[in-house]
Amino acid sequence: MNHFVSANDVNSIQLLVNQALAYKSNPFADAQLGKGKRIGLLFLNPSLRTRLSTQVAASNLGMEAIVFNVDKEGWALEFEEGVIMNGNTVEHIKDAAPVLGQYFDILAIRTFPSLKNKDVDYSEQLMHQFIKYAGVPIVSLESATLHPLQSLTDIITIQESLLANPIQHKKPKVVLTWAPHIKPLPQCVANSFAQWVNAWGEADFVVTHPKGYELSETYTKGATIQYDQAAALENADFVYVKNWSSFHAYGQMLSHDEAWMLTQQTMMQTNQAKLMHCLPVRRNVELSDELLDGSNSLVTRQAGNRVWAAQAVLANILHQQKQLI
């Protein structure tokens, strides 16, 4: 693995999931692998889970992790090619990225979309410029359109749950459902979950949302799309709850329909489904307290598994670097 910015960077999702679960059983199995190596974690947006789980993962591999909150502590970066820099930006990514590449063996970056210009956001300009100019492997800690470490974690969590409670004679039914929110959110987690579940190929995958919230077909192709949430949830084994803003009416909130909030009542038609959410979650807006606090909720385990996902990805990159020496 050279870079990790999407499911397309992974040869075998199942192998990566297995490796992550092996690290969960034996966190320090490769405690020497990252000795003498350093990862830079660059944040242009806030984080709790991604930041800390990646630091723990690096530590388990013997790596040093240095966090840099670029948005608060760095120079304002410019990403446009050929621009006349007579505005507010101070340093071009063409200059900053190669410098960062001198300091770190791996760079990991979090950036959110503007939700104002679909073409700019979906071009993933920032991630691609880091890949072009840094000269070291780039790991996405969530980008304008995708959140691959989260999605890998989500599949690890589904796999782990299936190992403990196997489903006989069929693939698990996994439903991604839109939920209400108070403000427009990126499509990243939903896009990414769809991309990874489709690439994994081990689930009967359904996406449900109100009309107007269709995600990019680049990611959902192969999934069943249903506008009737109750029908979609029927016999579901896993329900992933997430809000996203409209992709087609880019960045807009089209519906505040509270009926889409997940409750014990709406979960009645599922197959006693396990409940998933990437966190942070707006309680009693996206889904109810009773579900989050209930025995079928996987959300805390899911967040815990972020460590093993990050560890498996970093280990793959470190192995690749060793082979190149």
Which residues are near ligand CP by CB under 6 A? Answer: 47-50, 142, 150, 278-279
Q: Which pair of structure tokens corresponds to residue 184?
A: 């427009």
Cβ closest to ligand CP, residue 140 vs residue 161: 140
CA distance 251 to 19: 36
CB of 61 to ligand CP, least distance (A): 20
CB of 153 to ligand CP, least distance (A): 8
Q: Please name which of 244, 10, 52, 243 lies closest in space to residue 148, comparing C-alpha atoms.
A: 10
Cβ closest to ligand CP, residue 50 vs residue 145: 50
User: What values do phi and psi take at 54, rounded to 5?
Assistant: -70, -35
Q: Nearest residue by C-beta to ligand CP?
A: 50
CB of 142 to ligand CP, least distance (A): 6
Cβ closest to ligand CP, residue 197 vs residue 278: 278
CB of 194 to ligand CP, least distance (A): 16
CA distances from 314 to 69, 89, 116 (A): 21, 32, 33
Q: Which pair of structure tokens corresponds to residue 110?
A: 């979090």
CB of 10 to ligand CP, least distance (A): 18
Q: Which pair of structure tokens corresponds to residue 165?
A: 């409670």
CB of 43 to ligand CP, least distance (A): 9
Cβ closest to ligand CP, residue 49 vs residue 92: 49
Give the helix/strand (H/E) hosting 15.
helix 13-25
Cβ closest to ligand CP, residue 44 vs residue 279: 279
Distance of CA 47 to the CA centre of its chain: 12
Q: Which pair of structure tokens corresponds to residue 98?
A: 């190669």
CB of 242 to ligand CP, least distance (A): 10
DSSP E strand stretches across the chain: 38-43, 64-68, 77-78, 91-92, 106-110, 138-140, 173-178, 204-208, 224-226, 238-242, 274-276
Cβ closest to ligand CP, residue 232 vs residue 241: 241
Cβ closest to ligand CP, residue 33 vs residue 141: 141
Asked if 182 and 223 touch (Cβ cutoff 8 Å), the reply is no
